């Protein structure tokens, strides 16, 4: 689980998950090294991941002041309980509905929560972070943000793409993939993660990219893509074309049975 300091004020905690037949899905968390340090999402909760120990390579967990949870899907909440315990001064930046969803598993003390809706901003010492709803998402509570000092966009699931290998998924640069391959992978991810794009009105859908077009971030950081520098316009064009896309349909039971039959028996 490599940690990349991609800018003086940004670390990427890179991870990935292999999905048979699809590829390697990057699963990133981030640290924004502002005067009030911000952790953005908390990775996978698999037993061997040890989120806190990885985080401690770049920031003392006790110094973390904000945990920006872009949405409470399990690939974003792996280290959350451990981090809340290790960072007594940290508040969880999230939404009212996300708190409700999380309360189904482990209720959050409300004095540890900071509710922030799209359009609102958070002051982290030397800059503000302005929340927005990314154009594509798989959870209704999803909130990404723009760093108002540097322009960097944290886009949550939006712009994700399966990668051909784990080392590519955990690399520092989405431009490592040829443009056409990246485009195909991002549309594939859109068809998996946001199957509702099949039903959207193309014009209204395109309008939902207006903030990204206006702010034109030089760097886009998605949970499910290596850091994407200097290709925002191209990526917006890719996802802007997703209206009407056919949803991904996974293998059915017959396909699973065929796959299992192909495995060599193990054991005595």
Where do contacts with Fe ion occur on this chain (CB under 5 A)?
Answer: 73, 75, 138-139, 157, 223
Nearest to 236 by CA among 255, 261, 217: 217
Q: How far is the CB of 3 from Fe ion (least distance, A)?
A: 19
CA pair distance 212, 191, nearest whole angstrom: 21
Q: How far is the CB of 23 from Fe ion (least distance, A)?
A: 15
What letter would DSSP give residue 120? -
CA pair distance 176, 168, nearest whole angstrom: 8
Cross-strand pairs, 4: 12
Cα angle, residue 22 at apex, residues 16 and 28 outer, rounded to 5°: 20
Nearer to Fe ion, 41 or 229 (CB): 41
User: Which residue of the chain is nearest Fe ion when measured via CB?
Assistant: 73
Nearer to Fe ion, 73 or 229 (CB): 73
Cross-strand pairs, 32: 10, 38
Nearer to Fe ion, 24 or 34 (CB): 24
CA–CA distances in Å: residue 261 to residues 19, 82, 116, 267: 19, 40, 50, 16
Nearer to Fe ion, 81 or 138 (CB): 138
Nearer to Fe ion, 139 or 191 (CB): 139
Q: How far is the CB of 253 from Fe ion (least distance, A)?
A: 25
b/e per residue, 187-204, with b = 16+ CB within 10 A?
bbbbbbbbeebeebeeee
Q: How far is the CB of 139 from Fe ion (least distance, A)?
A: 5
Q: How far is the CB of 157 from Fe ion (least distance, A)?
A: 4
């Amino acid at each position: 689980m490599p940690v990349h300091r991609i800018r003086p004020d940004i670390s990427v905690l890179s991870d990935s998950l292999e999905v048979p037949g699809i590829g390697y899905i990057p699963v990133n968390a981030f640290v924004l090294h502002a005067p009030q340090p911000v952790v953005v999402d908390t990775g996978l909760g698999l037993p061997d991941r040890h989120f806190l120990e990885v985080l401690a390579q770049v920031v003392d967990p006790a110094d973390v002041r904000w945990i920006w949870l872009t949405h409470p899907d399990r690939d974003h909440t792996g280290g959350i309980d451990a981090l809340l315990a290790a960072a007594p001064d940290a508040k969880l930046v999230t939404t009212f509905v996300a708190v409700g969803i999380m309360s189904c598993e482990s209720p959050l003390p409300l004095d540890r929560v900071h509710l922030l809706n799209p359009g609102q901003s958070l002051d982290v010492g030397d800059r503000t972070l302005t929340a927005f709803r990314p154009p594509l998402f798989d959870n209704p509570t999803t909130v990404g943000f723009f760093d108002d000092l540097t322009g960097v966009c944290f886009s949550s699931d939006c712009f994700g793409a399966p990668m051909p290998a784990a080392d590519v998924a955990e690399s520092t640069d989405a431009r490592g993939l040829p443009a056409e391959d990246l485009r195909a992978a991002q549309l594939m991810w859109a068809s998996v993660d946001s199957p509702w794009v099949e039903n959207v009105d193309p014009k209204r859908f395109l309008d939902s990219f207006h903030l990204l077009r206006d702010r034109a971030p030089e760097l886009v950081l998605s949970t499910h893509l290596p850091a994407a520098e200097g290709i925002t316009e191209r990526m917006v064009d890719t996802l802007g074309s997703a209206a009407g896309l056919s949803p991904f349909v996974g293998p059915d039971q017959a396909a699973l049975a065929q796959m299992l039959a192909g495995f060599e028996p193990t054991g005595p």
